[in-house]
Each structure stands twice: as structure tokens, then as C-alpha cells.
Chains A and B, each alone.
Chain A
């Protein structure tokens, strides 16, 4: 593999109760997924303020994925239902501004789905890599 090959930076917001544990399981099972996926643990997918997503892009993320418990399984009963509505509207709005819709994603991953976590990250990283670097919402001053 050439050293300078472009690797997208992915920020994954994972809820504490399901998806973060799912990522743990993926690790325990030695499932492979790209090391360019940076996981940020949040108490609930609903904690993710739209600003977090914009900030991730500002700081150089090429794709942002939000993972939470499956609908109906939220530790706080209904948090992910609100996430679902909020992000449907926000991602569509980002797309309206020209931030390709493939760069943003919501995925429901339970604590038992380590394999799904790894597969999702592999697939998402590939999709974003095909789009190339995010230049639309990045802030050059945040780059090293």
C-alpha cells in the first residue's frame, strides 16, 4: 500500500449504552475497521447537537457518522427517536448546502453487534474515501 494514500478522517459519535459497547465488542472480537475512525462517546445519540457535527467538519473530518441504540431500545426511552427526526432534517439541509449526503450517516448499532459496527465503519470509510476530502466545511486554520 502506498504510504501517501488518501485516508479519510471519520468522526463517529457513539452512544454510551449500545454503539460504544458495540465498538468494544468489535475490538474484543478482533474485527478489522479503519483506524481513521475516531470515536467520540456521548451519553445518548440525542446528545449530539448539530453544532458538534459542523465542528467535526470544521476540524477536518471528511465524514461524520452518528451511532445509537436501535429505535425502541434507547436507554433513555426516546432519545434516539428525537435524534432520528433531527438528523433527517439536518442532513437533508446539509445536502441542500452542497455537503454531499454520503458524508453524513445515522446507524443503529446495538451492544451485541460488533460485527455490524466494523462492517458499517468499513463501508462508510470507503464511501467517504470515494468522495475525497471535505473542503466545503473545513476551516484551514484548524489544520496542522
Chain B
């Protein structure tokens, strides 16, 4: 359960909507089930009835600001990690800051429905968070299953970047603190394998990709009006991958396009219907850039220059990159 209550968010939304300070609220609403919470725009106080706030509000709302700020002045609820995406979008001049009223919501970590399913079983009809427990009712058992919330957190929440908002107009609670995590552990594990093992690992993962493009569509860094994957003459057009080239190509290009701009928000891995660990690809790039060009967190500051848009005369040579890690030669 989130310590911050739905009522507190609603109160803020009602206040700003009725005072006319904003004409729309970006929040979350229930989908078909309690757990498939979806981003939503509320343009009246009455509409707010559907508003939800809880353990399944993982969706990062920043990307929706691009479209909504063209029509409205928007109140947006942002969790600490979401604010990095907003900053990055501002760095890229994707919308006007004045059009946004950003309300920082504290976050206690969001639940991963896939992990929950794995523990509680299929056929979930309702989920209910009480304290650190999630009560799950399924079609196939009479008794509700009780799951420890901490065991079903999203990967990105386990490796939480920060509980401190990077940008906001107002906070609903006291400012949070930076958290420390060991987010590069899995990347390191892969790095210590041989190229053959790594190839096999990725083939196993990537061959499941159905090119639904959900990872691109949800990514707050992927905001081009016309995407290279929609361009039939780019050679990377959208179609189901048929061999290891096409599988890898899509993922290499996707990750490389957001290199230096990816805030590691984890949305891509969250939405992938095939559960491909996409965050590992982005994190590999982040880890490399940190090591080569100094630690950089996209979205920590508006206007910061990405390492790939910059250089120094004494940068590391591409060949030298590998000399330091000859263990898998």
C-alpha cells in the first residue's frame, strides 16, 4: 500500500481544477481489473471519480505531457523517478514548462503484476493492498492469497534510483532521499560471460520479441514525430523479426537512439508483453558511458548535455575500451 492516500491526490486535483489553474489532470484510472491501471486525462472534477492511486500506478506520465500541454494547462502527478523523464523532455524542448503544474507524489515502490501472477497464479479477479500485504483473489481458489508486497516490486523499484523528486512545483510530502542501489549487477554478470554465452542469452530473450513496439511507444525518450521504425525506406521498418539480425537490429537501434537520454525509468521493461529484460540493454550503455566519460544521469538537470553530444580531446579510444576486460578473450 502507498502511504500517500488517494484522497490527498484527489484533493489537490479538485482544488486546481475548480480554481481554473489547470484545465486537465494527468493521473491513473482503473482498467478492466484492479491491476491494469492505465494513464488517464481528467478534464472535470466529476471525471475524477475514476481516479486511482495505489500499488499499480507504475506508469510514468511524463510522456503524455507532450500531447496534453498543447491543449491544456496540465496538473501532472509524478513519482520521483518520473520527474527525471520530465526534465529530459524539457531538455529536448518537447513542451512548455509553464503549461505544467507538476505535483510530486512520494512512492513506496510499485508492484509488478507479472511477479504477482507468478506467485498468486492466473485468473486474478481482484487485488487489494493492506499495509505491506497484497490480498489477491483468483478464479481458482476460494481463499484469497496473501502476498508480501516487497517480493513483487517492479525491477526498477527494487533498484530505485531516488526517492527525491528532481523537479516539481509542489510536493505532497516532505522531500525524499537519494537511494543507493546496485543496478549494474545483472549487466556485470552478462559481461563476465563469453560472447557465445551472451549471444545465446540474448537470442533466447530477443527471439520472443513480437515487434509490438510497446517499448518504443511507452519510452519518454522516444518522442520523434516520425520514428525510423515507421519509415519503410530506413531498412529498419516495422515488421515481425524473422532472424537473429532483425531481432538484434531493432533492439540495438532502439537502445542506441535513446543512449544518453534514457533516464533508466524502466518503463520499456515494464510494458514488454514478452518480459524481455530491456533495461539491461539501456543500463549497459549507461554503465559504459559512466565509465568512459564520467557519471551522468539523464534528466537530473534540465539542459545537461548528454555524453554522446560532447567530447574531449583525450577521450578513451574504442579499442582501449576492451583492453581493460580481457577475461573473456
List the interface of chain A (C-beta within 8 A of B): 50-51, 54-55, 57-58, 71-72, 78, 81-82, 84-101, 104-106, 136-140
How far, in angstroms, from A90 to B308 measured CA to CA in the complex? 11
Tell me whether A136 and B316 are in contact in the complex, defined as CB-CB below 8 angstroms, given that A82-B311, A93-B255 are known contacts. no
Query: For residues 226 through 260 of chain B, which have their beta carbon under 8 Å from a beta carbon of chain A?
Result: 234-236, 243-246, 248-249, 251-253, 255-256, 259
Q: Contact between B199 and A81 (Cβ–Cβ < 8 Å)? A: no
CB within 8 Å: A-B pair count: 113
Q: Contact between A138 and B245 (Cβ–Cβ < 8 Å)? A: yes
Q: Contact between A96 and B284 (Cβ–Cβ < 8 Å)? A: yes
Least Cβ distance of B94 to chain A in Å? 23
How far, in angstroms, from A47 to B321 measured CA to CA in the complex? 22
Q: Contact between B195 and A85 (Cβ–Cβ < 8 Å)? A: no
Residues of A within 8 A of B312 (CB): 81
Residues of A within 8 A of B243 (CB): 139-140
Tell me whether A93 and B284 are in contact in the complex, defined as CB-CB below 8 angstroms, given that A50-B253, A98-B200, A140-B243 are known contacts. yes
Q: Contact between A93 and B318 (Cβ–Cβ < 8 Å)? A: no
How far, in angstroms, from A90 to B251 measured CA to CA in the complex? 12
Tell me whether A106 and B318 are in contact in the complex, defined as CB-CB below 8 angstroms, given that A50-B256, A51-B235, A89-B259 are known contacts. yes
Residues of A within 8 A of B310 (CB): 85
Report 12 cross-chain contacts, Cβ distance below 8 Å, ordered by A residue: A54-B248, A57-B245, A71-B313, A88-B317, A92-B321, A93-B288, A95-B195, A97-B198, A97-B248, A98-B196, A101-B322, A140-B243
Q: Contact between B313 and A105 (Cβ–Cβ < 8 Å)? A: no
How far, in angstroms, from A84 to B245 measured CA to CA in the complex? 25
* B319 in contact (CB, < 8 A): yes
How far, in angstroms, from A97 to B249 measured CA to CA in the complex? 11
Tell me whether A93 and B256 are in contact in the complex, defined as CB-CB below 8 angstroms, given that A84-B317, A88-B292, A137-B245 are known contacts. yes
How far, in angstroms, from A105 to B307 measured CA to CA in the complex? 21
How far, in angstroms, from A100 to B198 measured CA to CA in the complex? 10
How far, in angstroms, from A98 to B247 measured CA to CA in the complex? 13
* B190 in contact (CB, < 8 A): yes
Contact of A81 among B191, B288, B311, B318 (CB under 8 A): B311
Least Cβ distance of B248 to chain A in Å? 6
* B315 in contact (CB, < 8 A): yes
Q: Contact between A85 and B256 (Cβ–Cβ < 8 Å)? A: no
* B95 in contact (CB, < 8 A): no
Q: Contact between A88 and B288 (Cβ–Cβ < 8 Å)? A: yes
Q: Contact between A97 and B289 (Cβ–Cβ < 8 Å)? A: no
Contact of B245 among A82, A95, A98, A139 (CB under 8 A): A139
How far, in angstroms, from A65 to B223 measured CA to CA in the complex? 32
Q: Which residue of B lies closest to A50 (CB)?
A: B256
How far, in angstroms, from A51 to B319 measured CA to CA in the complex? 20
Q: Contact between B317 and A106 (Cβ–Cβ < 8 Å)? A: yes
Least Cβ distance of B297 to chain A in Å? 16
How far, in angstroms, from A104 to B195 measured CA to CA in the complex? 14
Least Cβ distance of B151 to chain A in Å? 29
Tell me whether A136 and B244 are in contact in the complex, defined as CB-CB below 8 angstroms, given that A51-B235, A96-B191, A101-B322 are known contacts. yes
Residues of A within 8 A of B311 (CB): 78, 81-82, 84-85
Q: Which residue of B lies closest to A131 (CB)?
A: B195
Residues of B within 8 A of A98 (CB): 195-202
How far, in angstroms, from A96 to B235 measured CA to CA in the complex? 23
* B281 in contact (CB, < 8 A): yes
* B48 in contact (CB, < 8 A): no
